[in-house]
Every structure is written in C-alpha cells, then in structure tokens.
C-alpha cells in the first residue's frame, strides 16, 4: 500500500472514530455530575488502533463538531458551554490520552510482541490516569465540590469498575484486530 493510500485510509478511520465517539455519547447513564458513556472505550481504541497521530485527530474533530453545537456529547448535548462545563476536563483529556496510548503502544511494539497485558498497562497509564487526572479536578473545581473522600467517591471511584471493563474490552478488541489485520498493529504505524 502506498503512503498516499495509507494516509487516506487513516483519515477515513479517524472520521469513523469521530462518528463512533458521537454515537457512544448518545447512550449515557446519568450518575452524579458526570454520566457513564462508552466514549472512553472509543478513546482507548483510537490510541490503540489509529496511533499517536490519527487517534487524537479523530477526537479533536469530534470536539470541534461538539464545540460548534452539534448534539454529539453525552445525552445529545453540544456547544461551547457544555465543553467548558463540569465534564469538559474529561473531554479535553481524550486527545491527550489517545496520543499517550498511541505512543506507549508503539514503544511496546518496538520492543517485541504486543501482548494483551501490555495493552491493559498502556490503557491504564496512557488512558485512565490521564483522563481521571484531568477530568476529576476540573469537575470538582467547576462544580465547587471540595477535594474530600465523599466528593472523590461521587466523581471518581464510582467510575472505576466500568472503566476497568473498558480497559479490558479495548485491549481485547485491539489485540484481536492486530492479529486479523496487520495494518492496525502499532509496529505498522509511521
């Protein structure tokens, strides 16, 4: 496959992932100040499958579309006000997490065979820690909640079981796709 075809394929996949993020946001479970969605799963997969360039690009496109008012955020919301609202820290952390995951999985691939447990570690380090590390403080500050154990229980701890499931599921999907289509493998990314 030529470089031009590869770039076109990656751009199409980035657009697909932006669309997947929009669809994943429509199915949300309201719990406290931030809903549970499948968007984190798509963010993790974007880094694992699209790499450090096109993974974040897909999310930046999604954020730009949400910023101009398309109702693609959780629960069908959109607009600048929503982006800078209580859940904005999570949303703005997504391209950073996707980039970190893409870089980490590429680093792992350069050192040998990529295994399922490698992807779990990459998702936790590059994904969950970054997303929660930016999202939770933003949420607490924007809602005026104090940094207490009770606030952390409502804004962080409640999401851990679901996020661990997303970490495992995205690792399983990625390792399966690496085996089926070598073009998804991080060693193939430029």
Q: What is the pLDDT of residues 140-186, one digit of tens each?
A: 999 998 989 888 887 788 888 899 999 999 999 999 999 998 888 88
Give me the sign of the Cα torsion angle 62, 101, 179, 120. negative
For residue 92, the model assigns a pLDDT of: 98
Alpha-carbon span 94 to 25, nearest angstrom: 13
Higher pLDDT, residue 121 or 1: 121
CB 117 within 8 A of CB 85: no
CATH of domain 3-188: 1.10.1760.20
Among 42, 164, 47, residue whose Cα is nearest residue 109? 47
Q: Which pTM was predicted? A: 0.92
57 by DSSP, 3-state: which? helix
Domain positions in the chain: 3-188
User: If residue 123 lies in a helix (H) or strand (E), which one and from where to where?
Assistant: none
């Amino acid at each position: 496959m030529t470089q031009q075809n590869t770039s076109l394929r990656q751009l199409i996949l980035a657009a697909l992932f932006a669309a997947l993020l929009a669809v994943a946001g429509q199915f949300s479970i309201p719990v406290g100040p931030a809903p549970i969605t499948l968007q984190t799963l798509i963010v993790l997969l974007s880094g694992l499958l699209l790499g450090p360039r096109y993974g974040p690009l897909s999310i930046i496109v999604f954020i730009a579309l949400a910023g101009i008012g398309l109702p693609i955020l959780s629960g069908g919301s959109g607009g600048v006000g929503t982006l800078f609202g209580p859940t904005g820290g999570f949303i703005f952390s997504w391209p950073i997490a996707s980039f970190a995951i893409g870089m980490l999985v590429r680093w792992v691939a350069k050192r040998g065979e990529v295994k399922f447990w490698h992807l779990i570690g990459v998702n936790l380090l590059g994904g969950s820690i970054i997303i929660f590390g930016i999202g939770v403080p933003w949420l607490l500050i924007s809602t005026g909640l104090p940094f207490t154990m009770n606030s952390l229980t409502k804004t962080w701890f409640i999401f851990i079981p679901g996020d661990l499931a997303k970490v495992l599921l995205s690792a399983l999907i990625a390792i399966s796709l690496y085996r089926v289509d070598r073009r998804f493998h991080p060693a193939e990314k430029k």
